[in-house]
Amino acid sequence: MVNILNHVKKHSDIYVLNYLLIVLYAFVIFFVLKIDINEELFKTTDSYTYLCASTEFYNFSLKGHTYYSYVRPFLYPMLILLVYKGLGAFAFWLLQFLFWIFSINWTFLSIKKITRSTMLSFIGSLIIALNVSYSLLTCHALTETSVIFLLSLVIYFVTLNFTKINTIFFFSRCLFILVLLAVIKPLFYPLFLFMLFIILPAFYLKKYIKKPKNFIFLFLIIVPIIFQLTIMKVKQDTFSFSLIGSGGFRWYLLAEGIVANEHISWEEARDKAMNHMSDSEEVSYILNNKMIYTNLYFQNLLQNIKAIPSFVLLPKGFSFPKIVTLMTIMNSIYFYIHLIFIIPILLCIYLVYKRKEMNYYFGLILIPLFLLCYIFGTIPIIFNEGDRYSLVTLPLWVFLYSLIFSYLFIKKKKDKIINS
């Protein structure tokens, strides 16, 4: 009994955090929005495609013209197949709720580990918890909740192991999480290739050569990628990972530039982009109209960050205009926070380099910063999708900005953080 009381006392902040999270979530979802957990999980267009993909992937008698498995990697549809079709809608909602609550807990623990500030940890966690769009996405069968869950796991792993950044242990675990991200959302597949073919040869290959058995574990880590490629080859007769990226680029940004340049209808522009342009013609067209595409790129970036919360409440429409207004204001505030932190980030990197602390802060700053820049750099491809795509950056920038603030204003001794 005494041990239990000591444990509760030692980790009282975690218990308080989770109590607040459960109360806040229940109040918003069940008392304010009054959401029923049922098949509405799959009523949005994209949610339905994941549901259909869950059948297509594992029915290998269906070959060719199976659109959904053509554009959706296998892992999220597999979760739908196992959890929703096996246990029902409530179980699938519960899984997504657990993604939500664990992602916030890991962000809290990450900030506390590095900053040693309970206040900063609570502030960062509540920024995520108070994002109504993120809470609502737990009630839709969409990948964003699982992506945020895994990105927060990346941050948590880095904070626990930042002194081991030059080890195979660190590289392999980060690669495995990235593999899971890739087979949920193809956005992360290029990052997987970058890790495997650039980072591995440049920094870790000699370590693998010294212990060849680690190549076996490396192969096991990339098995999900191989499985996804195999599915595409068997079912679609194409050796590619997923065509959602290139298709989305043509359907959105490329067609948007054609409309702006040629002053034709969206239907004509999308038909031209999807059906009448080869890859080389596509590249030439963009280079010949680079100013148009540059302007559209930054316009879409701004729009996606300062977006309307499109899932309040789809598919029923905007039944809660006050929450829509609130989240639109919050998204605008996020945008200005990102602008404000550009200079502190650069200053922090400069000070870290000047003080010769790169070995200590390299992973802590550059890994979330790189992921944040990568995601923000890709979301302008798509537009008019609300704040769904910028939401996945929440644990990255909340942790990064907390770290920057702590380093510049309340920096703690390194030894205390390492040994904590």
Closest CA to 363 of 394, 393, 403: 403
- State both tokens at 91: 């179980």
The tens place of each residue's pLDDT in the chain, 420 residues long, gives 555 555 455 668 999 999 999 999 999 998 888 888 888 788 777 888 888 888 776 665 655 556 777 788 999 999 999 999 889 999 999 999 999 999 999 999 999 999 999 999 999 999 999 999 999 999 989 999 999 999 999 999 999 999 899 999 999 999 999 999 999 999 999 999 999 999 999 999 999 999 999 999 999 999 999 999 988 887 777 777 777 777 888 889 999 999 999 999 999 999 998 888 888 999 999 999 999 999 999 999 999 999 888 776 555 555 677 888 888 999 999 999 999 999 999 999 999 888 887 777 888 999 999 999 999 999 999 888 888 889 999 999 999 999 999 999 886 655 566 666
Length of the chain: 420
Single-letter amino acid, residue 276:
H
Other Cβ atoms closer than 10 A to 322: 9
pLDDT of residue 343: 95
User: How many angstroms separate the CA atoms of 258 and 255, rounded?
Assistant: 5
**DSSP code of 27?**
I
Helix and strand counts by DSSP (H, E) for the chain: 25, 0
Q: Which parts of 116-222 fold into alpha helices (H)?
A: 118-129, 132-137, 144-161, 168-182, 189-194, 205-210, 214-221
pLDDT of residue 386: 83
- Strand, helix or coil for residue 175: helix
How far CA 104 is from CA of 14, 142, 185, 227, in Å, comes to 11, 18, 20, 31
Q: So where are the chain's domains?
A: 165-242
- State both tokens at 215: 């190549």
Give Cα 378 to chain centroid, integer Å: 12
